[in-house]
Amino acid sequence: MSASVVILPGDGIGPEVSVQACRVLETIAARIDLKLKLEEALIGGAAIDSTGGPLPAETLEMCREADAIFLGAVGGPQWADVDVDLRPEQGLLDLRRSLGLFANLRPVKTLPALAAASPLRAERLAGVDIIIVRELTGGIYFGKRGRSETEAFDTCEYSVYEIERICRIAGRLAMQRRKKVTSVDKANVLETSRLWRETATRVYKDEFPELEVEHLYIDAATMHLLSRPAEFDLMVMDNMFGDILTDEASMLAGSLGVLPSASLSVTGTGVFEPIHGSAPDIAGRGIANPCGAILSIAMLLRHALNLGDAADQVESAVRKTLESGARTADLAAVGGGESLSTSAFGDAVLAQL
């Protein structure tokens, strides 16, 4: 089997964690005799500095032709004053739109070894295993927007079609798990949320009658995610709500640095990336946590290349590395003990592989 993967290191700590992710990908590829073609391209601030735009046409074309895409991170304070349509983050938004990446999957699974790193008590974390499914190409981030000296507006818009397709993705995933879906909205206030709840209710009743379906307002969901996290299985929500709740959910796992994500289309290429962002305050210091990046490689293997066994091996290697006591600075600062550099943690994962 052969596969082509485009690597987009991006900005901040993106290049540092991308190196470790690629090492793991190349190691597992050699083990399973996967003929791997890796190509690197520019995105975000690095692309702005080199080409003047956050998503060069060459990068987009390479991504269209690849079997999968790995992204490090985009953004940084040095591009804060750039026009909004040319900021690094716009490159990622344009990539999602161009490739039709409408479904973002963010798994959150707690490990006893990292319980001390979470602000929640250990007993609340037992058995937490959630997938948050976030709609990625609609909503307020892609609606009409404008600004004058005294006013500004951002429009949130959703169609029945957009809501149906994300609910179906969530439904199919839930059927493979504990058969429970929690749909998050703000239907008591927003028209888009009322359409969301009506559509979600219909899709799950007609197409997934075996599922247990729960509806929560976003404000209540933020509370229940901390008070009863183990009761959730799969959560589905719109773009902005998903952006907020996934960062909150990272605290269940102990750090933003340990969580991966996958952005998928109906058919075609997916983008796999850690959720931690570019973290410019620690960029270049060699202390970034590569767990999220490495686990994103596991999601790439599973969802893009249909190599579930290889994905399991990568996830097992990360888990065993953490259970052995290996920690990067973000985790050691809370749990105590000596911290490993980004590359040393990568070495530890490779040793487990």
Asked if 186 is an active-site residue, the reply is yes
Asked if 243 is an active-site residue, the reply is yes
**Helix or strand (DSSP H, E) at 317:** helix 308-323
Nearest residue to 72 via CA among 290, 273, 261:
273
314 in Cβ contact with 28 (< 8 Å): yes
Cα dist. 99→11, 53, 61, 190 in Å?
21, 18, 10, 29
Catalytic residue among 141, 154, 217, 347: 141
Q: At what angle do helices 342-352 and 291-299 cross, to 10 degrees?
A: 40
303 in Cβ contact with 312 (< 8 Å): no
192 in Cβ contact with 238 (< 8 Å): yes
90-104 burial, b if ≥16 CB within 10 A, otherwise e?
bbbbbbbeebbbbbb
- What DSSP character marks residue 117? G
Catalytic residue among 154, 243, 320, 347: 243
Cα dist. 297→22, 27, 309 in Å?
8, 12, 13
Catalytic residue among 67, 94, 129, 247: 247
Asked if 141 is an active-site residue, the reply is yes
Spatial distance between the Cα atoms of 221 and 182, rounded to a whole number of angstroms: 9
Catalytic residue among 186, 204, 233, 330: 186
Torsions phi, psi for 60 (to 5 deg): -60, -40
Cα dist. 167→101, 137, 249, 258 in Å?
15, 14, 20, 26
Residues 6+ apart with CB under 8 A from 200: 163, 167, 183, 185, 213, 215, 236
**Helix or strand (DSSP H, E) at 6:** strand 2-10
Catalytic residue among 49, 85, 219, 312: 219
Asked if 219 is an active-site residue, the reply is yes
Spatial distance between the Cα atoms of 2 and 154, rounded to a whole number of angstroms: 44
Which residues are tagged catalytic? 141, 186, 219, 243, 247
